Amino acid sequence: MKLIQTFDYAELSQQAAEQIISRIKRKPSLNLGLATGSTPTGLYQELIKDHQQNKTSYKQINTFNLDEYIGIPKKDSHSYHYFMCEKLFKHIDIPLDQTHIPDGTARLLDEECTRYEQFIQEHGGIDLQILGIGQNGHIGFNEPGTSFDSRTHIIDLAESTRKANSRFFASVDDVPLQAITMGIASIMDSKEIFLLVSGHAKAEALARLINGDVSEDFPASVLKKHPNVSIFADKEATALL
Ligand code: GLP
């Protein structure tokens, strides 16, 4: 794992964006794995700015999101479909039918998991996956205890995750109990991974990732077994290293 330390969140977002843009220049039909949460929003703003100023094009890109809440309609402002449209897709030239997110409203959820997993593989797999990290070490929505062999699956959200994400909802009771997420093995299939870590609240998680053991109790630790991971972390996040 390569650690790229930045001064602050703005620099983290800029550096990650620069690297993504260079990958797109090298391969205009890049398969790009995307994440939600607060951490990548600065990166998405940088990609939008670059698209407007330098005309980097996403016309041949396919995107694959990590996860989606179960039971929230796509048009609902709490869905990750809505989040991605607002924060990125509607501001760049990507055709919407090339943006892929698991369907948390599918009638047959197990079939949706299998479909999404196969769909990524049929597209040739993910070239570059963007990840955030939960305070409990979750990646995507793979909570502690998830098997490293897992593929796209349904997960019961940890109470701590529901609390952390309640800031986006009226109350914690409104946060869905379950989500559909790419599995750990699905994420590990990506050719390259960028992990973004920002702020004091993530310092403990980053220290455990760097200094701790590889264990299913701390899902992000699996990244130590991947040959091509870059961690972009700001000063606050690296405070305990
Ligand atoms: C969410 C998402 C993850 C994200 C994480 C951290 O629950 N499913 O993909 O990385 O939590 O979010 P944030 O960046 O807001 O701290």
- Best substitution site from 69, 78, 135, 138 to test ligand 1's pocket, by max atoms within 8 Å of Cβ? 138
Question: Across residues 155-160, what is the average pLDDT?
Answer: 95
Tell me how far the alpha carbon of residue 135 lies from the centroid of ligand 1, in angstroms. 9
Active site (catalytic) residues: 67, 136, 138, 143
Q: How many CB atoms lie within 10 A of CB 22?
A: 9
Q: What is the CATH number of domain 2-130+140-198+219-231?
A: 3.40.50.1360
pLDDT confidence of residue 165: 94
The confidence band for 77, taking pLDDT boundaries of 50, 70 and 90, is: very high
Q: Is 169 helix (H, G, I), strand (E, B) or coil?
A: coil
What average pLDDT does the chain have?
A: 98
Domain ranges of the chain: 2-130+140-198+219-231
132 CA closest ligand 1 atom index: 10
Tell me how far the alpha carbon of residue 125 lies from the centroid of ligand 1, in angstroms. 22
CB-based contacts of 45: which residues, under 8 Å, 6+ apart?
13
The torsion angles phi and psi of 103, rounded to 5 degrees, stand at -95, 105
pLDDT confidence of residue 226: 98
pLDDT confidence of residue 93: 98
Q: Is the CB of 42 under 6 A from ligand 1?
A: no
Query: What tens digit of pLDDT does each residue of 179-208 get?
Result: 999 999 999 999 999 999 999 999 999 999
Residue percentage of the chain with pLDDT more than 70: 100
